[in-house]
Amino acid sequence: MQQGQVDEAVAAYERVHEAFVSATEEEWAQLDLTVKQLRALFVLARAGSIPVSGLAERLGTRLPSTSVLVDRLVHAGLVERSSDPEDRRRVLLVPTDQGFDLMKRLRQGSVELRGWLLALSPETLDGLTAGLRALGEVAAGRVRFPYLQQSPTESIAPRPDRN
C-alpha cells in the first residue's frame, strides 16, 4: 500500500470526523461532567442497570471512588439507585430519563452520519462498508496486515484514474 493512499484515507477520515464533531459540538460544550462521570454514564446507558461493583470493574476504578462518582451522578439527576428485583439486598444503578436523554443528544452525530450514508450510492456505500469492516478487524487486532496476506486474486481492486 502506498503512503499517498494512506494519507488520502487519513485526510478523508479527518474531514468526516470534523463534521461529526461539529454535529454535537454545542451539546458537548455545555457538559458539566468530568470525563470519568461521562464514561460512567456511557457504560450505564449501554448496560441498562448494573451494581456499583460492576461499574467499578468496567471503569477500572476502585469501589470507594466509584461510589463517590455515582453519588455525583445521582445528585445531578442522571442516575438513580434501584433495588435488584432478584436480590433486594443488591442495589443497581440505572440512568434516569434525563441521563438517557443526555446520551441521546450526545450521540446525535450518529443521526447525522446515517443521513450522510443515505446520500451515497449503493455501490459507494457497499465499498465504504467493506472498508470499515476491514479497518475494524485490524483495529480490534483480529487481523494483522490483511493486505499482505491476500492472494493476488483477492487483492483490492485498483482505484479508478482521477484524470
With cell 450522510, the residue in question is: 116
Band (pLDDT 50/70/90 cuts) for residue 146 is low
148 pLDDT exceeds 60? Answer: no
Considering the domain architecture, whether residues 47 and 92 belong to the same structural domain is answered as yes
In 3-state terms, what secondary structure has residue 119? coil
Fill in the DSSP letter of residue 99.
H
Q: Identify the band that residue 153 occupies on the pLDDT scale cut at 50, 70 and 90.
A: very low
Count of structural domains, the chain? 2
Query: Which of these, 158, 128, 156, 133, lies nearest to 143 by C-alpha position?
Result: 133
Q: Does residue 14 sit within a domain?
A: yes
28 vs 58 pLDDT, higher one: 58
Dist CA 13 CA 22 (whole Å): 14
- Residue-wise pLDDT tens digits, 37-56: 999 999 999 998 899 999 99
In this structure, the answer to whether residues 21 and 58 fall within a common structural domain is no
CA dist list (Å): 56 to 70, 82, 110, 149:
10, 17, 27, 40
pLDDT score of 154 more than 50: no
pLDDT at 122 over 60: yes
The answer to whether position 161 is within a domain reads no
Tell me whether residue 91 is exposed, middle or buried, using C-beta atoms within 10 angstroms of its C-beta: 0 to 12, 13 to 18, 19 or more: middle
Tell me the C-alpha distance between 152 and 15, whole Å. Answer: 32
Beta bridge partners of 95: 79
Is residue 103 a contact partner of residue 38, using CB atoms and an 8 Å limit?
no
Which structural domain range is residue 16 located in? 3-28+107-141
Same domain, 17 and 59: no
Under a CB-based contact definition with an 8 Å cutoff, are residues 70 and 55 in contact?
yes
**In this model, does residue 73 exceed pLDDT 90?**
yes
Residue 151 has pLDDT above 70, yes or no: no
131/107: higher pLDDT:
131
**Residues 16 and 77 reside in one and the same domain:** no
What local confidence, expressed as pLDDT, does residue 67 receive? 93
Average pLDDT over residues 63-69: 94
Q: Tens digit of pLDDT for each residue in 10-22?
A: 999 999 888 888 8
Q: What is the dihedral of CA 147, 114, 18, 120, to 10 degrees?
A: 60
